[in-house]
Amino acid sequence: MYPLISPLGDRAVRLTFGNRLTEKANDSVQAAYFRLNHSELPYISEMVPGYVTLTVYYDPLKVPAYNKMLHQLKNAAKAGQPLENDFSQKRHLILPVYYGGNKGPDLEEVARWNSLETEEVIKRHTRATYRVYMMGFAPGFPYLGELDETLATPRRKTPRKKVPSGSVGIAGPQTGVYSVDSPGGWQIIGHTPVRLFDAGKEEPVLIKAGDLISFKSVNEQEYEDIFHECEKGIYRPSIESKEE
């Protein structure tokens, strides 16, 4: 019965809530993360939620006994317990995106690969509400699902040495947003001026696992206006609460 708990080195354990990615399994991960955050167990030092796993890092000097810790973690994170009200209120963020041009150099490739017009790619990409299944390889990078299967496109054969932060991309059946400048091989279809990661802020990461994300297509002038507001620190993306 889930969660299954397995050791991960001498300072962490991994809680597993399923053997494949489903919304139910990911809900259990997010609920366990929420419950353990509010459990006040003194030995927990950090937690990392994944698609179907939750990795719990602990301070071995504060653990009462290893088996007792496993029992406490399993009880606190037990799948099927009612969700607290705070967890059931998911955030829904709407990010403005300028598609195509020099901000989305691979938009035409995505359209060609899927036998679509570029406007149809934008329409299908913006009409979905995406779930943040987990945070990824860079600070603040969200792995989103589910991408319309008619937009799935292989990664670039030759990755770029630098992809600007804010770039919106597609890689196979996934879509996501680069949170920092980094190398990458995703097909870049647009750019959002909203910063997903800002090390200078008290809360540096804008998006969290479990959030819902929508993209809104904006024209060049709207993009420039939002970009300047972001530079001044006065732009606030639309954030709504949504019952799950």
What digits encode the pLDDT tens for the residues 50-82?
889 999 999 999 998 999 999 999 888 775 444
- Mean pLDDT of the 89-106 span: 93
Number of CB atoms found within 10 A of residue 221's CB: 9
Cα–Cα distance between 34 and 87 in angstroms, integer? Answer: 7
pLDDT at position 242 over 80: no
What digits encode the pLDDT tens for the residues 208-241?
888 999 999 999 999 999 999 999 988 988 887 6
Token pair for 132:
């943040």
Token pair for 220:
């060049």
Residue 91, helix vs strand vs coil: strand
Strand partners, 170: 175, 187
DSSP character for 112? H
Diameter of the chain by CA atoms?
61
- Buried/exposed code over 3-19 (b: 16+ C-beta within 10 A; e: otherwise): bebeeeeeebbbbbbbe
If one compares 49 and 86, the residue with the highest pLDDT of the two is 49
Which of 146, 199, 207, 217 minimizes the C-alpha distance to 177? 207
Token pair for 43:
């030995």
* HEC profile of the chain: CCCEEEECCCCEEEEECCCCCCHHHHHHHHHHHHHHHCCCCCCEEEEEECCCEEEEEECCCCCCCHHHHHHHHHHHCCCCCCCCHHHHEEEEEEEEEEECHHHCCCHHHHHHHCCCCHHHHHHHHHCCCEEEEEECCCCCCEEEECCCHHHCECCCCCCEEEECCCEEEEEECEEEECCCCEEECCEEEEECCCCCECCCCCCCECCCCCCEEEEEECCHHHHHHHHHHHHHCCCCCEEEEEEC
- Mean pLDDT of the 106-130 span: 97
What digits encode the pLDDT tens for the residues 15-57?
999 888 888 888 888 889 888 988 889 999 999 888 899 999 9
206 Rama sector, left if φ>0, alpha if ψ -120 to 50, beta otherwise: alpha
pTM of the predicted model as reported, rounded to 2 decimal places: 0.81
If one compares 193 and 30, the residue with the highest pLDDT of the two is 193
Predicted confidence at residue 80, as pLDDT, reads 46
Is-contact 122 159, C-beta < 8 A?
no
